[in-house]
Structure 1
Amino acid sequence: MDRYLEFILNHYILSLALAVVTYLLLQELFDLAFKKFGSVSPLLAVAKMNDGNATIIDVREPQEFTQSHIENAVNIPLSKLPEQLSKLEAHKKEPVLIVCQNGARSSSAGKLLTKAGFEQVFVITGGLQAWENDYKLPLKVSGKKINAELSK
């Protein structure tokens, strides 16, 4: 035990870095273990959309949404989502697909919706970047449907 204490005292910066990294890793593991929303690939999202009862929420800002979005998606920016939850009450038991540009904002929205009691929340993995670039799925732009391959 004395050797450990001596090491920590002699290498306090290294020991502090180890403690911080350990804390961050444990926090990430707990977040993954206890999150109550799922993630789906763009292809699985399309399958859920084709089932007919999925709601698609695009949490990007309105100017991003008007540039391109998934057909039938509803734009509710992440910053406005807490105050707009009452409008989504009817969809609490239905699948809710959340998308943003790359998946970062979607995870925050997923946490918010699950805390609000939504039962089937799914984040589209990779966001619209994966939707368009990796899977070549169509998007809607200014009232027109476009193929992602042609939009480059």
Structure 2
Amino acid sequence: MEFLQQNWYWAALAVASGGWLLFDFARTQGDKSQLSPVEATLLINREDAVLVDVRDQGEYAKGHIPNARHIPLADLERRSSELEKFKDRPIVLCCASGNRSGAAVSALKKAGFEKLFQLRGGLFEWEKAGQPVSRKRK
């Protein structure tokens, strides 16, 4: 007890960080549309999911997930017909950090797509997880 009294700030920091981790865990458990890089890889390999990169051309050229289809977010509504043939397959949307892919999910839901997923953390988390990145131009 004396240790806690002398080091209350460390104890408070431990409680706060533990609470934040618990909050973040609970928040992501309810949203099954957000996939980690490993979950996305499993979905691609097991269910033949289609990966769509919604970043702009310059970002895509600097590096992208191998075999990702490139449809910039600004063009997604106009080019959603390119994805029609994949309507019965899961579609994983990817951007740089996970923000634009959320908007892409909304746009494709409006277009009638149902099996939509988002790469949590985008290409940043993908690379951080040690997953492959291609720099080849298509």
Q: TM-score range by the shorter chain?
A: 0.7 to 0.9
| Greater than 6 Å deviation, 4+ residue runs | none
- In the alignment, structure 2 segments of 5+ residues that lack a partner are 1-26
Q: Between 52-61 and 72-81, report the one with greater CA deviation.
A: 52-61
**Structure 1: where are the runs of 5+ without partners?**
1-31, 144-152
For residue 33 of structure 2, the aligned residue among 14, 38, 42 is 38
TM-score scaled by structure 2?
0.73
Query: Does the CA-based 8 Å contact 2:53-2:68 persist in structure 1?
Result: yes
Is 2:60 the counterpart of 1:65?
Answer: yes
Code of the residue aligned with 1:119 in structure 2: it is E
Does 1:136 pair with 2:134? no
Structure (1/2) with the larger strand percentage: 1
Larger radius of gyration: 1
Q: Scaled by the length of structure 1, what TM-score is found?
A: 0.67
Question: Cα deviation per residue 1:37-77 (whole Å; 9 max; x = unaligned)?
Answer: 81111100000111252110000001111110001001100
Mapped partners of 2:47, 2:99: distance in 1: 26
Q: In the TM superposition, what is the alpha-carbon distance from 1:94 to its structure 2 partner?
A: 0.7
Equivalent pair of 1:71/1:139 in contact (CA under 8 Å): yes
Deviation at 1:142, TM superposition (A): 2.4
1:115 deviates by 1.4
Distance of 2:119 and 2:74 partners within structure 1: 19
Aligned pairs (5 A) from 1:109-148 = 109-133=104-128, 135-142=129-136
Secondary structure in structure 2 of the residue aligned to 1:139? coil
- Paired letter, 1:137: Q
Q: CA deviation at 1:86?
A: 1.0
Matches of 1:131 and 1:42, distance apart in 2: 5
Query: In structure 1, how many angstroms separate the alpha carbons of the residues matched to 2:118 and 2:55?
Result: 13
- Superposition pairs of residues 1-152 of structure 1, within 5 angstroms: 38-51=33-46, 53-133=48-128, 135-142=129-136
Q: Structure 1 residue 91: deviation in Å?
A: 1.0
Contact 1:71 1:140 in 2 (8 A): yes
- State the distance in 1 between where 2:109 and 2:89 align: 12
Q: What do the CA deviations read for 1:85-129 (whole angstroms, capped 9, x no partner)?
A: 111111112100000000000000001111111110000000000
